[in-house]
Structure 1
């Protein structure tokens, strides 16, 4: 059962790469002139099909016998006392990757302030949706505690991974896709640690991806960047179990 589970995750990542690879094919997109209507239609179909599918599957298996049996089998494989809290840390890795890449001057889609702006907006919206659903559904976790559906850790991880993807998909594909490996690891260990059901992590992943893609499509506060012309800016992320942020040094 555990091998089948990891195979499922690998297939999910491959599907993600295939779908997003089509989106990021700049030559194809630049070679075809589209009207505003067709451009909107292209965005809706291509960029939302995966997260909507994840959310749909999560809703369908929510509270089903299949989901409960899967979690029982999973815990039996690893042991009912198993706990490895790596999921509390790897959820932050896409953020760290982005700012480290900025520090090493790897070309990104946006200025570091705009990256931070879209990261904050995406996480604010996705977290608001996730925590609202937690209160509404009041689903019991596998370990007996409340507020299981959807997974907040998974939503956060996939939101961060999708920000990283959008920033570096055209200049550093390996870096861009690497965030999803950390996000999938977060989702996996939420289940292995008996914190969440499969439906929780699928819906959390879907919310994180679709919200971030919409933020990058509409670009709220697009022209707001007081640091656009500021030189001598140094940034570095800091991460621990309860906090994350960025140290910034500006030389005027």
Structure 2
């Protein structure tokens, strides 16, 4: 049976390049928010610390960080510069990992390996157990991946500006930062690991050469899951300790979104798991780095 031909209508309905659309949307969104920020003055808010250009301090991973304190950013040059410093921190972390970091890596890799072995069976079970109710649930939660999440990020910033809530604005900016870094790593990974989507093959180990342009081999990892997990982790990091229900709701929606991608036969289960792990750990790292910066008075941090 020609699997590609059989499933080609699925691809036709979704043939617009979601990854290009997402990046173009983010560029437009940053420009729009920048204009909004320039038109607004927060006269009731005390000056916020920014990352200094000339002062540097060296810290280690063992240094305790203030758990509930974050740098308060504004949408300006210092914020955009901080994206690069945080990206450098995220990328350089493996060279400084300690015991628990290698434990987490082992959990991620071990679970990924187990899911790869089970991918075909998971696909078979899910596709044979479709129902109208599950269809309706999946259709509701799936857009949280690439459609709703960017609007939620923008909405957080706009609402924070409208009600003069600097914490909400700052959470939006940190979410954007995490999203930009995670998406960059995701695009590099997807370009290198060219895995065929389950809609077009029953072979879960069907890979093409790195950087090939085959439109079918774009399955690994799941971008929808990465996006919604980034948002869920950022919101949980900012509000989870104060409002215990926030992580349950945020991660619940993120998890259902990932499952919906398996249900709709867009991704293998292992694609979804890796996308979720990437969004989660990148966002946690960004928030950790910014908490340490805050504790050190907004100085640029050099980790060792």
> Do the structures match in fold with TM over 0.5?
yes
Q: CA deviation at 1:219?
A: 1.6
1:71 is aligned to 2:123: yes
For residues 101 and 53 of structure 1, do their structure 2 counterparts lie closer, same or farther at Cα, with a shift above 3 Å needed?
A: farther
Shift of 1:47: 8.6
Alignment map for 1:75-114 (pairs within 5 Å): 75-78=127-130, 84-91=138-145, 92=148, 96=152, 99=156, 111-114=167-170
Which 4+ stretches in 1 moved above 4 angstroms? Answer: 43-51, 100-105, 220-224
* Worse-superposed segment, 206-215 or 84-93: 84-93
Query: CA-to-partner distance for each residue in 1:161-219, whole Å, 9 max, x for gaps?
Result: 00010111122111233110110010010000000011001111100110000000112
- Residue 218 of structure 2 aligns to a residue whose secondary structure is coil
> In structure 2, which of residues 142, 163, 177 is the aligned counterpart of residue 121 of structure 1?
177
Counterpart in the other structure of 2:190: 134
Q: Structure 1 stretches of 5 or more lacking a match? A: 1-34, 225-252
Q: Calculate the TM-score normalised by the size of structure 2.
A: 0.50
Cα drift, residue 37 of structure 1: 5.3
1:59 aligns with 2:112: yes
> Structure 2: 5+ residue runs without aligned partners?
1-58, 68-96, 201-215, 300-304
- Equivalent pairs counted in the alignment come to 184
Q: Which residue of 1 aligns with 2:234?
A: 163
* TM-score (normalised: structure 1): 0.60
How far does residue 89 in structure 1 lie from its aligned partner after superposition?
A: 2.1
Query: Residue 78 and residue 45 in structure 1: after superposition, are their counterparts in 2 closer, same or farther (change >3 A)?
Result: farther
Structure of higher RCO (CA pairs closer than 8 Å, 6+ residues apart): 2
Q: CA RMSD in A?
A: 3.9
Distance 1:88 1:51 in 2: 27
CA–CA distance in 1 between the matches of 2:177 and 2:256? 24
Partner of 2:270 in structure 1? 199
Among 188, 203, 217, the alignment partner of 1:146 is: 217
* SS of alignment partner, residue 157 of structure 1: helix
- Match of 1:196, SS state, is coil
